[in-house]
Amino acid sequence: MLPNGIATEGHPRAALPPRAQGSIRRTTSIDVLHVQDPPDHVQFTCGGRDLLTRRGGHETISETSFTITMTKRDGMVDSVVVPHSSSEVRRLVGTGLRRGFRKAVAEADVAQPGSITSQLLDDLPVALVVSGYSTAVAGAQVREQPNLDRIDVCMGWRQGGTVDLELARSGAIPIPHGPIVPALEDHDAAAWHRLPSLDHHAVRRLRRTDVVRDIRGWRVDASFRDSHTDGTGIETVIHEYDLHAIVEFSTDEIIEALATPRVLPYLECPVAAAAVQNIIGMPASDARRTIPSLISGAASCTHLNDLLRTLADVPTLGRHLP
């Protein structure tokens, strides 16, 4: 039985920053839906675009979409549809999504490093974890003995925190209820790639990364949001972060980084933003390999780490700029 939900305060972004002249914007989305056709499957609808903004116009540099389905029973990918992506993604059929997926993707060589497809595949394991929110708020049965080994896995699950205390009191994980997603302003029709309508009971992970030349290096303005749509069509925010960073041209080093929490599920979670200072001096291209060891345990946030991992793609994106 689920405990009473807890209200999550926050300030979700209502509008994106305008696209700057001489910038490139990457946007990605993953919609996750627990489906019954085929029975007991999870469907991931993935898409993304790289958009270059020049004086007087813009140009799509790359665009990707594909759909993956996974069986709930064993967590194996059993179907990949790739209408607008590399056919190599089909090699993932038979790969387990719950454990070791990122390593399997690298070994299968299904996506170029720095590509949209690579970023989407890197996001899939945590998108699957976040999608569990939809079954929790729908009142699906939750195991009576939650995995206590997860205590101190991140700031929100730290010892003595909200989750730990609720588990001790009731034996169940507290379910957060975030603010309603603001209607995005539509003054820029090219702000996002084409987003499908979000099905009831689905979870969506949105990412945006803007890169522009700065006197000190590549200036990065990035954000991500996880949201959920309930059975009545109301979409609420689960997680949301902003990130500002500068990556030096000559050394590839991250010389400035600031993370701003906007919406997070538990009272303790925003404290993890301070750990972003650990990446100063790190080569951006090493982000996916290095960040798990630099920011981990009770001082970390899984979702912030995923946002920081996208800095690995900044050099690739920057090469498209004049």
Is pLDDT at 142 greater than 50 in this prediction? Answer: no
Is pLDDT at 155 greater than 80 in this prediction? Answer: yes
Residue 91 gets which letter from DSSP?
Answer: G
Residue-wise pLDDT for 59-98, tens only, equals 999 999 999 999 988 999 999 999 877 788 999 999 999 8
Which is more confidently placed, 75 or 140? 75
Residue-wise pLDDT for 104-116, tens only, equals 998 888 899 999 9
> What is the chain's mean pLDDT, rounded?
89
Is pLDDT at 138 greater than 80 in this prediction? Answer: no
CA dihedral 157, 163, 165, 171 (to 10 degrees): -120
Of 73, 165, 175, 90, the closest CA to residue 132 belongs to 175
Residue 14's identity, in one-letter code, is A
Global pTM value: 0.92
Q: Comparing 226-230, 286-290, 298-302, which segment has the lowest mean pLDDT? A: 298-302
Is pLDDT at 9 greater than 80 in this prediction? Answer: no
Give residue 57's Cα distance to chain centre: 29
The pLDDT-based confidence of 145 (bands split at 50, 70, 90) is very low
Residue pair 71/40 in contact (Cβ under 8 Å)? The answer is: yes
Residue pair 164/158 in contact (Cβ under 8 Å)? The answer is: yes
Is pLDDT at 2 greater than 70 in this prediction? Answer: no
Is pLDDT at 195 greater than 70 in this prediction? Answer: yes
The pLDDT-based confidence of 322 (bands split at 50, 70, 90) is confident
Of 246, 248, 239, the closest CA to residue 273 belongs to 239
pLDDT at position 95 is 94
First to last CA, the chain: 57
Residue length of the chain = 322
pLDDT at position 144 is 43
pLDDT at position 6 is 58
pLDDT at position 149 is 64
Backbone CA torsion sign across 105, 23, 188, 86: negative
Which is more confidently placed, 101 or 150? 101
Element (H, E) at 49: strand 41-54
